[in-house]
Chain A
Amino acid sequence: QVQLQESGPGLVKPSETLSLTCAVSGYSISSDYYWGWIRQPPGKGLEWIGTIYHSGSTYYNPSLKSRVTISVDTSKNQFSLKLSSVTAADTAVYYCATIRGGYYIYWGQGTLVTVSS
Chain B
Amino acid sequence: EIVMTQSPATLSVSPGERATLSCRASQSVGSKLAWYQQKPGQAPRLLIYGASTRATGIPARFSGSGSGTEFTLTISSLQSEDFAVYYCQQFNNWPHSFGQGTKLEIK
Contacts and interface: CB of A to CB of B under 8 A. Distances in A.
Interface residues of B, number: 24
A59 B94 contact: yes
Question: B interface, by DSSP: helix, strand, loop or mixed?
Answer: loop
Interface in B87-103: 87, 89, 91-92, 94-101
Contact of B91 (A46, A62, A95, A102): A102
A108 interface: yes
6 contacts: A45-B100, A95-B43, A105-B49, A107-B44, A108-B43, A110-B43
Contacts of A101: 49-50, 91
B36 interface: yes
Interface string A36-55: 10100000011110010000
Given A102-B32, A103-B49, A103-B89, A46 B95 contact: no
